[in-house]
Amino acid sequence: MEEPLAAPAAASVAASAAAETAKEAAAAAVTATEAAAASNGKEAAAVPATTGAAAAASAAIQASKKRKLHLHDGQDPPASDNCGDADHISRLPDAVLGSIVSLLATKEGARTQAISRRWRPLWRSAPLNLVVNRELINKTHKLIDLIPKILSEHRGPTRRFLLCFCIDDCYDKIEGWLSSQALDSLQELQLNPKLWFADRKKLYPLPPAACRFSPTLRVAKFHGFHLPDLIGHLSLKFPCLEQLTLERVTISEDALQSMLSGCPALESLELKENLGIARLCISSQTLKSLGFCVDSRYGGVFLQELVIEDAPCLERLLALDPKGGPATIRIICAPKLEILGMLSEDISELHLGRTIFQKGVAISLTTKMHTMRVLVFSPVGPDLDAVVNFLKCFPCLERLYVIFQPLSRAIYYIGNARKYDPLHPIECFQLHLKKVVLKNYDGENSAFINFAKFFLLNAKALKEMKITSPYHRQHNFFANIQSKLRDQLRASPDAQIELRCGTRDYFTRNKHTHDLSMNDPFDMPSIGCWRCKELGLGDTTYQV
């Protein structure tokens, strides 16, 4: 009998690998399964519990690597003497176990064959999660031989195919892999050939066989390929596609517009540093999240104008880099837009309905967007005028993130202490604005102090203000800010101020264009201060 893929050490998974984490997750999965079965008698109802069970199986496999049990073919792992170590996971129905296996990484999924006779046939029949990267290679398998071996021996469907490694030596093989019958009805396809970013002339054409999955794909990511005009000429339809990422690809405007028009179920779209598109017009009845950024450093045709023409379901418009344009953004129809950012002066012209901003300066303030909850703004220095003009457009704003860009201290907006006119109040200050986050904050500059004071003095619903310095700071630095803000009159008696040092942060780590479950994709843990970690101080915070 053939050994399971990956390593003999995998045979030690089994019951002996029922570590506490694995046991707890398995028990939770069984409980959820039994409860679901009791409610409607259907095995399929247990599927939501598979994520916890998958974590259990994965933990068990990792724990097993520490034990050098050597089992002969056909032999099950020894049963534990402790009845508390019972293998709860194996009690789940085949359909649920198959779902668990399909959620595991490729190697770990294959290792489940060694758990017991109960698990042995599952991997070959369960939906395959094939992640092709360097971790998949071992001393006994060459990658170009391993992939066709897996595809030929796996009897079940393939749910996901992810290729993420340098393809210089095997590009000519990819077309054959993608043509395999094992990939019929593929739901998720990610192709990332790992090319150097600057090497634009070396981009490989997207393998034609990738187009054959258009009827079944739900998730697609293409990184570092040339997408030919053939995509547009074929008028491909992607009836099931919900997530699409194009990163560092070259594609014409016509081909991209044709591709998007063939995606009637698309919910999230991410466009990062692509070439060949000067203007993009978004008209989608289903799109909820759009992330984008531009990089003009390497020349070529890059995105200069983004138009949201008709997007009735769009909730998030995410500029993923404050220096990543495009120069012009026009929002014509997006009645459900809730999250907007990061806005910066690199966006030369912003149209919000009939309201127009040029480099952050309001030219006309006509349209108000009552749906907006979260705004992320990245000004050059503590420019209150620019921020206040944006706030006037969003009367129901709940969260404001301000990420200051670096600027010579000599040209900071010194004395920028804007006076609040109660006869012309900022509407969101009255009932809605509850959270203000200030990143890359220079507490030694009076303009920054006045910037923070303005919100404390006027935002009546404010609950929290989080201030992060871009560098490591000593206690005296925060004590100085505390003394300046502590005695500040506050419009909201509930307002709490948190100070911390950190690392200069521009939110370019935001990877959540496709995660629609996140209420606020910018509400992420701080990177923390590397110097504090080096000194063993942990994450030091100060309250005001």
What does the H/E/C string look like for 183-244?
Answer: HCCCCEEEEECCCCCCCHHHCEECCHHHHHHCCCCCEEEEECEECCCHHHHHCCCCCCCCEE
What does 65-102 look like in DSSP terms, one character per residue? TTS-----TTPPPPPPS-GGG---GGGS-HHHHHHHHH
Going by their DSSP bridges, the two strands 268-272 and 243-247 should be labelled as: parallel
Phi, psi of 229 (to 5 degrees): -65, -15
Is the pLDDT at 153 greater than 50, yes or no?
yes
Number of residues in the chain? 544
pLDDT digits over 2-50, tens only?
A: 333 333 333 333 333 333 333 343 444 444 344 334 434 433 333 344 4
* pLDDT of amino acid 357: 92
Q: Where are the beta strands (DSSP E) in 367-501?
A: 374-378, 399-403, 435-439, 464-469, 496-501
Is the pLDDT at 270 greater than 50, yes or no?
yes
Distance of CA 458 to the CA centre of its chain: 34
Residue 415 — very low, low, confident or very high, per pLDDT cuts 50/70/90? very low
Closest CA to 97 of 63, 41, 54, 37: 54
Q: Please state, in angstroms and rounded to a whole number, the distance separating the CA atoms of residues 163 and 148.
A: 13
Q: Please state, in angstroms and rounded to a whole number, the distance separating the CA atoms of residues 437 and 465.
A: 6
Phi, psi of 137 (to 5 degrees): -85, 140
Q: What percent of the chain has pLDDT over 90?
A: 39
* pLDDT of amino acid 416: 56
* pLDDT of amino acid 364: 87
pTM of whole model > 0.85? no
* pLDDT of amino acid 34: 42
pLDDT digits over 210-258, tens only?
A: 999 999 999 999 998 998 776 767 778 999 999 999 999 999 999 999 9
Q: Please state, in angstroms and rounded to a whole number, the distance separating the CA atoms of residues 512 and 270.
A: 10
> Highest-confidence range of 4-13, 97-106, 157-166, by mean pLDDT?
157-166
Q: Please state, in angstroms and rounded to a whole number, the distance separating the CA atoms of residues 267 and 284.
A: 9
Is the pLDDT at 111 greater than 90, yes or no?
no
Both tokens of 391, joined, read: 């706030």
Q: Helix, strand, or coil here: 500? A: strand
* pLDDT of amino acid 162: 92
Residue range 55-70: mean pLDDT, rounded: 48
Q: Are 431 and 398 in contact (CB under 8 A)?
A: no
| DSSP type of residue 275 | B
Top pLDDT among 527 and 204 is at 204
Least confident window among 94-98, 193-197, 254-258: 193-197
Both tokens of 369, joined, read: 């967007």
Residue 503 — very low, low, confident or very high, per pLDDT cuts 50/70/90? confident
pLDDT digits over 439-496, tens only?
A: 989 888 888 999 999 999 999 999 999 999 887 777 788 888 888 888 778 999 999 9
| Average pLDDT for the chain | 78
* Cα pseudo-dihedral 521, 526, 527, 530, rounded to 10: 180
Side by side, which strands form the sheet with 305-310? Answer: 279-283, 305-310, 328-331, 349-352, 355-358, 361-364
* pLDDT of amino acid 17: 37
Q: Count of alpha carbons within 13 Å of 269, Cβ hemisphere only?
A: 27
